[in-house]
Structure 1
Amino acid sequence: MKIRTKVIVLFSAISIAYIVSFALYVSYFTKDSLQTKFYHRLEENATIVGNHIIQNDAYNNKVYYEVTRKYLRQLSEGKDYLLRIVKGHTDLRYKPNLPLPEGFYEEAIVNGKAQFLHDRTSYVAQFFVDSLHKENLLVISAGIDEYGHEEQQILDHTLISGGLLAIMVVILLSFYFANRLLAPIKAINTELTQVDISNLNKRVKNKYSNDDDEIGILISNFNAMMKRLDISVKSQQSFIGNASHSLRTPLTIIGGEAELALHHLDKNHEAYYSVEAIAKHASKMNLIINNLLLLSRTGFEGKIESKQWIRIDELLYDVQKSEKSMNPDCEIFLDFSHIPEDSSEMNIFVNPDLFYIAFSNIVSNACKYGDKKMVTISLVCHENLVVVKISDHGIGIPLHDQPHIFDSFYRASNVGAIYGNGLGLVLAKHIFELHHAILSVSSIENKGTSVSVYIPK
């Protein structure tokens, strides 16, 4: 999950939780307050009714009816129940048909009053000690708080609509703040796409924050790292170039002198084998140095010069011819059975020298590790793509070695005494990547290796 999404989700979730919690808090305590007030009204009503029944005088009759008229709207669908209780007892002679629990009546008699809510109907019981009559009086007032329920519904609707509106605002704000917070990082990422091995002098500009905040410090540290990396890469490039050039001259002299000595030595001479080994290894070291030079140039500069349109079939034919001259025992078959009739469809825009080296390295590997079996080079042309496939039926690459085949100087564990320097495939991959081509390798140990190159037109 991206940081932007995490910020939006987290900010929205926390804000929504607060909004919902606040709405539930207001709704619950408003409902509780309205219910408590209605209980007080029922209690006042029960008190007036009880006093009226006990005293039964004209003044109280007048007060009773005035109060009844006053509370009539608030106590709609209400009713009063009058129960006589034998003095000194807590049980009832008969119980009204009301949905009240057993302990309700005893609680009212013992404590003087009791409250109970069933569905929407509220019940309040008030106990009176009647000194004017033989039995005490228990008044139960019941009613439905229509006004309170309406107020609660209006409040709940307001909280829901307001909460939904607030949630929408919070989500919009979360998008806004996430974009504002991550704008510097997005800008940094955009600028970083312009940085590669050939453009290490690129520096990120701080446009969205102060130099002293976290983003500013991050940009400053990144620019400092890029500066150190630029110096290190240039030093490495200079070292490889200078070392390769310095080594090339003495190696050329050694190889030349060894070749000259071989011409003047008889093959039966005891030094002939040693001089021949010197000439062979000098040639191999010269090849390694040339590969290092080419690898450093393509890898560090990151650009291709002298590109031109060439025919891929002609290039592959030259590679086959050159490799046959170097490895006469290797049989190389060019499979051009799928090439198009229009030769222009085989044209690619590349540096021919680099492509020649890349394919030569791959074919050379196929010959060396092909167990002296036929190497097949096939060519297929598509509308926007040219596919070259080089296959052998040799020793293959062990599965545990395959993740490392593009590491410099790495050689598979099953190559034995077969000579190699571990640079050919690495160099080929670099060259193809610089031309935006894709190189893929599939191999099965003891069955062979197949190298496919996908070249855009």
Structure 2
Amino acid sequence: MSLRNRLTLLFTAIVSVLLALFCLLLYVVARQYVSNEFQTRLQSEALTAGHLLVGREPVGPTLFKLIDKNQLTVLPQEEIIIYDAKNKLVYESGTDYLTVTPGILKRVRQVRTLHWRDNERDVVGIFFTENQTPSVIFASAVDTFGGRTIQNLAYILAIGWFLMTALMVVAGRFYAGRTLQPINQINRRMDEITASNLSLRLPEGASGDELTQLAQRFNRMLTRLEEAFSLQRSFVSHASHELRTPLTAITGQLEVSLLAEDEPDELRATLHSVLDDVRGLNRMVNGLLSLAKANMDESSVPMGRVQLDTLLDQVQLDFQRLQPNYIIHVQIIPPDAPDHLWQLTGNEPLLRTAFFNLIDNGGKFSPAHTVSVTLSSNSKSVQLSVHNAGSTIPADQLTAIFIPFQRGRNASGQPGYGIGLPLAERIIRLHQGSIQVDSSATSGTTFTVTLPR
């Protein structure tokens, strides 16, 4: 069953049940009201009979019967019965519709006013004490008019309920279709979106309801998927190009060496050149693997306590062991801060890689291979700044340097593959942090990393 039909049936069922309960309540209240009104009229008839027959100024039974027979307010099949204090019958209208037992007489004298129903006949008994003559008066009649009124009301309510239920089916289906129309549009647009056509977006509308929010979230997901596909295509394209270059160079050198009868010294020089290319290729592959690892889901990266000041000292020692001609100045502000000020939750190997790449990038582009590293902290975050006084990065390329295999124009002639900075930026974002770069001819280039504590 479609969602439209389910909503229509649910809406109709709920409203129909509520409407049926309302009709039933209206019928019960109307029936009780008619019954109470008829009992009040019966009691008035009994009091009138008492005043005229056994009151202070009584009239004769013959005259009363004549009056009762010709009055316009007489009730259908009305009967009046009067008993005196000794349970002796004083007056009876003569219709014999009602039978009175001694038990009923006793009950009326106890409760003063008694109402009951005998088949279709309503009966009221009252204890009448006017003129010091206690009497028991019974009045009974059949409420034919009230019964027809209640019956007609029941028919009207039943017909109205059926008509309103049918109307609710039509209205419910119409409004369910109107409500679900955005979903149909979303389904049609989703069928048009493919891996090669991720630029399409779902219609969001302007109502701000749940369907609009769903479309907005789906569009944001499509944007992320489009970016991921674009990065993947760019990554594969650039990686293939960068890997092909050293492999082509290695292949060419080996083919030349095999064809030529070189001297041992020349052959050794060729092997050294091939070894340098292989080492560069190995560094590139390791960088690609690290970049792929950093692009994994945050939930799959193991996190733990990291002491940043200790980690920075280890990175400095490792870097100077690998690059002894680099000069690294490390400053911790404040220098005598407690250890917990430099603690945060993160992945230590990934953070080590990010810091290493930032320092390597700073030293590579500094004329004297000098890098200044500053570590500072506040109540909410820890900041690491890496500064060098080398060539400036053009303003239009400050964001492009964080795209894999994209290098600034100032990187011409410098070794590298355009992997280090994108890898560092991804690791920082993996730790819910941010990285900022400022570059000018007067102050040099500074990378500022902010990590939440």
> Which protein is bigger by CA-based radius of gyration?
2
TM-score when normalising by structure 2 = 0.47
Normalising by the residue count of structure 1, what TM-score does the alignment of the two structures yield? 0.47
